Amino acid sequence: MTSEIEQQINAYKERKQNLGNLLVRCPDQPGIVAAVSRFLFQYKANIIDSSQYSTNPEGGDFFLRIEFACPSLQEQKEEIKTSFAALAENFSMDWKMTFPSEIKRTAIFVSKELHCIRELLWEWQSGDLMTDLALVISNHETARELVEGFGIPFVYIPASKENRREVETEQLRLLEEYKIDVIILARYMQILTPTFVEKNPKRIINIHHSFLPAFVGARPYDRAFQRGVKLIGATSHYVTNDLDEGPIIEQDTMRVDHRDDIDAMKKIGRSIERSVLARAVKWHLEDRIIVDGNKTIVF
């Protein structure tokens, strides 16, 4: 990591040291927002932003995200989390309290296509993707020069169906060694095993080069061309053991027509893939996402 990026991260931590995020999912009922607000007020916390959503006011689920500032947060955050657990139990809350100053550590998995990792590295270098980008793992050498130019460790591990178990054992070892919080599949063209996925629930973010649920799996642009579609898109989602079926975080589309061959579609699609993946990763890093079954609530 370059000294300039280290300075950006340290400055961000300093700015955010008194800020916290609270995410809540629970059965809907009166008094939830009032109770949470009173609780934060006890710690002299100021609510900066609050977003909420109810699936049904009568018997549905309630979702809440609050950003708050607390003058003595660094000294009190463990106490605040412990105290909030009692309130959460009263409302049967599934909740998470996070702190922006605790920067998440990220690993990127990539194969030969570099457009998505280039976008992530650019966003990271410019300070718009606030993470400790600790490691890049690839089954090809293609990205080495690019990655090492940013001062990021690059690990080449040849992967195939035949050696998948050994590869993932080494990958999991590296993720533990580097204390990785988030795994980004930036066009990593290997299917992960159930064992790998189960060890990283809701921590693996993928970009699929189609507007899911259309064209699941391999060669979606080829199939889109054969089908004569007028819109192509990209989808970023959490990885589950069902191929390309995980909770969708972000999607986007662009128009195409009969003049666009497969190569033209791929070129248009790469632009969509880059921006969709970058947005999804950013929202995850900022704790804006609540997973609800196989869907997401993105605040």
Helix (H), strand (E) at residue 170: helix 164-177
Nearest-angstrom CA–CA distance, 202 and 195: 14
Candidates 244, 257, 263, 292; catalytic one: 244
Residues 6+ apart with CB under 8 A from 11: none
Q: Is the peptide bond before 213 cis (omega within 30 degrees of 0)?
A: yes
Nearest-angstrom CA–CA distance, 5 and 198: 32
- φ and ψ at residue 162, rounded to 5 degrees: -70, -35
* Token pair recorded at residue 266: 């791929």
**287 annotated active-site:** no
Q: Are 192 and 165 in contact (CB under 8 A)?
A: no
Strand, helix or coil for residue 9: helix
Residue positions annotated with a catalytic role: 244
